[in-house]
A and B are shown apart, each in its own frame.
Chain A
Amino acid sequence: MSIRHGLLALLERGQMYGYQLRAAFEESTGSTWPLNIGQVYTTLARLERDGLVRSLPESEAGQRPYEITDAGRADLTLWFATPISRADRPRDELSIKLALALTTPGVDVRAVVQTQRSATMRALQELTRLKYASDKPEDLPWRLVLDAMLFQAEAEVRWLDHCETSLVRYRPAPGRPTGHPEAVDRTDEAARR
């Protein structure tokens, strides 16, 4: 998640100081990405260094508001106009884990699949509950964020179901010819179950 662009988008609404930015950020994403104030200030410092925001004189209460610059506005427009590259997303640890589980002796792959499925299902339950609870029109941005997470969790469960079905047919047979009679017997056994 780009905190930089998140803050720029908020400053586009008008000038704000650190704590306001943090609150507005969390509000607009339904607290999905809690920010600590330190992250806000480091990001603001970098944005200022790059000329995308400008700090204004401190208020009497000692708060320093920031405003977006023209360069910042251009950067923000570009961000909205550019699709997010799949390569920028974190590596999918789960698929790597399953691939390794399949080839590591002594690992119960079905159990790995089931453990993950339970955990993902539980997340899905939580997300559904949150969505059910936020039905006001002004909750829309937050609901869309929830939907994105729901769709991702759903896709993961589907993929796990798919893995399980494939596993029933999978026969780890190092060195054993595929046409071996014993292997064939086992296939029949699995198909019956």
Chain B
Amino acid sequence: MSVVLELRNVHRTHGVGAAAVHALRGVSLAVRAGELVAVMGPSGSGKSTLLALAGGLDRPTGGDVLVEGEPLGVLGARELARLRRRRIGYVFQDLNLLGSLTAVENVALPLELDGVGLRAARRAALAALDEVGVAGLGDRFPDQMSGGQQQRVAIARALVGERRLVLADEPTGALDSQTGEAVLQLLRRRVDAGAAGVLVTHEARHAGWADRVVFLRDGDLVDSTAPLIGVEQLLSGSGR
């Protein structure tokens, strides 16, 4: 399968000199189509930084970030914004729904900004809301929905259109375990359908949905789970 996201020896330093904070210190990571990678690590280890760089929301101070082979470093602000709208779905830790827009308008927005006609954008948005199980809430404003419902709308917005790369930062934040589970199932389904996904999470249970789990510590990738093995080996190797 093709590599959708690639980080090559990426550094991100905030500030200079003695006050410099090395949020990432030379991280390399490749995520393929059909692969979901979970990023775990203590608070402050650089998880959100990594995701922001992967999504083109922040620029590295060293190294390269490539999306579908295209280095983001050479793109101007407009091109980068377009690439983000078209190819990257981003679920923020704090949702980021626009309060003055209804659910369906929130989801349709990236498509409209991208020049898709109003009606087609609305249709796609409704389909995305349906996919996350809140088809009936299209005309509600964010403050008329529960936290879990808003979360689903945020996911719908990240999944709408043909996004090839889905990035999620603690997408299950304030959700109960059932709803959190449902959100991960959606993410998993989209990845199984051919997208590449990166999931930042504190919860081992949620990282369990990934094909690979990588561990960050003080800005370094220190470890990664081995490729998955067969059921038989797992069962004979543990739990007896």
Contacts and interface: CB of A to CB of B under 8 A. Distances in A.
Nearest to B44: A193
Interface in A64-115: 114-115
Interface in B49-92: none
B225 A121 contact: yes
B228 A118 contact: no
Contacts of A122: 213, 225-226, 228-229
Interface in B200-240: 203-205, 207-211, 213, 215, 218, 222-226, 228-229, 231, 234-236, 238-240
Contacts of B224: 118
A129 B229 CA distance: 11
A76 B87 CA distance: 59
A164 interface: yes
Interface residues of B, number: 29
Contacts of B207: 121, 124-125
Interface in A127-169: 127-130, 132, 149-150, 153-154, 157-158, 161, 164-165
A126 B229 contact: yes
A115 B226 CA distance: 11
B235 A34 contact: yes
B164 interface: no
Nearest to B185: A132
B234 A124 contact: no
Contacts of A33: 239-240
B188 interface: yes
Interface of A is mostly: helix
Contacts of A115: 223
B42 interface: yes
B100 to A, nearest CB: 38
Nearest to A165: B42
Given A118-B223, A126-B228, A161-B42, A32 B235 contact: yes
Interface string A4-39: 000000000000000000000000000111100000
Contact of B239 (A121, A132, A149, A154): A149
Contacts of B40: 121
Contact of A129 (B215, B218, B228, B240): B228
A54 interface: no
A183 interface: no
A40 interface: no
Interface of A: 1, 31-34, 114-115, 117-118, 120-130, 132, 149-150, 153-154, 157-158, 161, 164-165, 193
26 contacts: A31-B231, A31-B235, A32-B235, A33-B239, A33-B240, A34-B236, A114-B222, A114-B223, A118-B213, A118-B224, A120-B204, A121-B208, A122-B213, A122-B229, A123-B234, A124-B204, A124-B207, A125-B211, A125-B213, A126-B229, A126-B234, A127-B234, A132-B188, A132-B209, A153-B204, A164-B42
> Would you list the 9 A-B pairs with minimal beta carbon distance, nearest first?
A128-B208, A157-B204, A124-B208, A122-B225, A126-B234, A121-B213, A154-B204, A154-B205, A118-B225
Given A125-B208, A153-B204, 14 more contacts: A33-B240, A117-B223, A118-B215, A118-B225, A121-B207, A122-B228, A122-B229, A126-B229, A128-B208, A132-B188, A149-B239, A154-B208, A157-B204, A161-B42
